[in-house]
Chain A
Amino acid sequence: MQKELTDIELINLVLAGNQSAYANLVKRHQRYAFTLALRFTKSREDAEEIAQDGFVKAYKSLSAFQQQSKFTTWLYSIVYTTAMTFLRKKQLKTDSMNDDAVFTQVNLLASDLKPDSTEQKSRLYYVNLAIGQLLPDDATIITLFYQGEQSLEEIAQVIGMETNTVKVKLHRARHRLKEKLEGLLKQEVRELL
């Protein structure tokens, strides 16, 4: 069986002129980049645009990648910056979830996605929903830590903060996520009763 090339090997191939090797890198990391972008915008189209833009920017500055950190850490920092720029340009609303209007929006979203099957009713569905209700920064840290498998130092590098700040933010983000989750589950129990 052919050995799967590492990220660094693929990058070296791309730098040697093999453009199609980059497609393998994109395929490998597209879900992570897309999920991260989706933490900033609720629209899948916008998230795709951000993630694609991130990959194109990464390709253009691939020769500047020092290979001192993981490729994913570097890629996520590009996607994060692209998403922030996108938000600034679009002036998307990133209000606190305490805002009534946003609550209404989330409730509408929740009712749109009313689970039909048992699988959808699983706890994971509610965890995903609760992450969607967090502020972009909290959702990003949670995503990078649990889904992107990034260490605190790497997350700090991605979002340009001190490691200790990220640690505190991670604790707070988890706390808020737990609260949101409990709220959603209580609501679900009330509906069932």
Chain B
Amino acid sequence: MNEIEEHLWNYIDGFCTEDERKTIETLIENNANYRNKYAELKAFEANMPALDLEEPSMGFTFKVMENIRAEHARVPLKTRINTSIVRAIGAFFICTILVLLGFVFVNVDWSAPSPVHLPEIKIPPVTNYLNPVVIKGFLFFDVVLGMFFLDYYFRKFFIRQK
């Protein structure tokens, strides 16, 4: 693109300074090259605003609104929950628990009138149940469980490899 054309486009678009504008106006008046080029560019420019915009299909707006509705429906539940409500409910329960705890601690009588006697719990002796049959059964169950998990792991591993 030559310099004349660039100057003239700046003049037509109004991108030049006042001084430049006056200079170009003088050149258009006195210089045939400038005058002809200016007429040419003005003729070209005249077509541009009259250019038609392309028309999309009739259902364009409807499709956009449908997409928006579909997107809205697809939003996961957790993103639609108002977190401030959840926080308010949580704060209410925490306050209630703290008040109750405070009330309990305030009203507790910390002095013990007599020494505390722990109840006696009689646990049946475990050694009676741990005979060789039970131990073998327990080990057998462990081995089966171990093989099951090993099989599960290898299946996943080979599927990932494929």
Contacts and interface: CB of A to CB of B under 8 A. Distances in A.
A190 B65 CA distance: 49
Nearest to A178: B44
Contacts of B88: none
B145 interface: no
A172 B5 CA distance: 10
B55 A31 contact: yes
A12 interface: no
B68 A35 contact: no
A34 B60 contact: yes
Nearest to A128: B51
B120 interface: no
Q: Size band of the A side of the interface?
A: 35 or more
Nearest to B57: A48
Interface in A54-89: 55-56, 59-60
A154 B63 CA distance: 28
Given A26-B60, A30-B60, A124 B51 contact: yes
B42 to A, nearest CB: 12
B123 interface: no
A56 B61 CA distance: 11
B44 A174 contact: yes
A105 interface: no
Interface residues of B, number: 26
Contact of B56 (A31, A60, A174): A31
B53 A51 contact: no
A124 B47 contact: yes
A123 B47 contact: yes
Interface string A4-35: 00000000000000011011001100111011
A38 B54 contact: yes
A175 interface: yes
Contact of A146 (B51, B60, B61, B65): B51
A52 B49 contact: no
Interface in A132-161: 142, 146-147, 152
Given A127-B47, A146-B49, A51 B56 contact: yes
A174 B37 CA distance: 14
Interface in B1-18: 1, 5-6, 9, 15
A48 B56 contact: yes
B24 to A, nearest CB: 15
Contacts of B48: 127, 142, 146
B25 to A, nearest CB: 20
Interface of B: 1, 5-6, 9, 15, 44, 47-57, 60-61, 63-65, 67-69, 71
28 contacts: A19-B69, A23-B64, A26-B64, A27-B61, A30-B56, A30-B60, A30-B61, A34-B53, A44-B56, A47-B54, A47-B56, A48-B56, A48-B57, A48-B60, A48-B63, A52-B63, A59-B68, A124-B47, A124-B51, A124-B52, A167-B15, A170-B9, A171-B5, A171-B6, A171-B9, A174-B9, A174-B44, A178-B44
Interface of A: 19-20, 22-23, 26-27, 30-32, 34-35, 38, 44, 47-48, 51-52, 55-56, 59-60, 123-124, 127-128, 131, 142, 146-147, 152, 167, 170-172, 174-175, 178, 181
Given A32-B53, A178-B44, 4 more contacts: A20-B65, A56-B68, A124-B52, A174-B9
